[in-house]
Amino acid sequence: MKRDFQAKFLMHLNGKKKANEGFTLIELLVVIIIIGILAAIALPSLLGQANKARQAEARNNIGAINRAQQGFFLEAQYFATSLPELAVGITPKTENFEYKLDPTGANAKPGVSVAIANPKAVNPNSTLKAYYGLVGTIPGDVNTGEVLTVGLLCEANTPKIAAIGNVGAAGFNPNDPKCANDYKTLQ
């Protein structure tokens, strides 16, 4: 019995030495190459997601301004002329965008509100796009004199700053709302 035990014990010790040897250089290189390939595939899409998140800020804020203008008009029968008057809780300048209402600019028309979100800095490598929102009025029930509001959210086709005079409000038809030529309609 003792000899069987000794033989098994020696085989066990011999097997442990083999298990503690570690990885070979080739095995480590293969693992590092696989991790490098996976990182090269994942990194570009991860960077694109960061820009999408930045742009979502502007889309959400312009949409909130549009809805707030519609609510403000419902109560006051005119559009707010500044973000503090609108009291929507959006700061005029964030890390990525600058927001403003354009009540007195080139696009000011009775019954139209223009909200603009411009990226803070547009450089050749930037992918942030400008946004603008329009809210206009259309006649509602003729008997009650009720007025309805229509909102529109537009995104620039290319990264740029929205020029206030060119955002398309001058041609804004509340019955058929459309964005300017170099913008696409989101809402």
Q: Is the pLDDT of residue 165 over 70?
A: no
- What integer is the mean pLDDT of 47-68? 87
Of residues 125 and 151, the one with the higher pLDDT is 151
* Of 136, 146, 134, residue with least CA distance to 62: 134
- Kindly tell me if the per-residue pLDDT of 36 is higher than 90: yes
Q: Compute the distance between CA of residue 97 and CA of residue 87 in angstroms, rounded to an integer.
A: 18
pLDDT of 92 strictly over 70: yes
The structural domains of the chain, with segments of one domain joined by +, span: 59-185
What is the rounded average pLDDT for all residues in the chain?
A: 78
The stretch 137-152 carries a mean pLDDT of 79
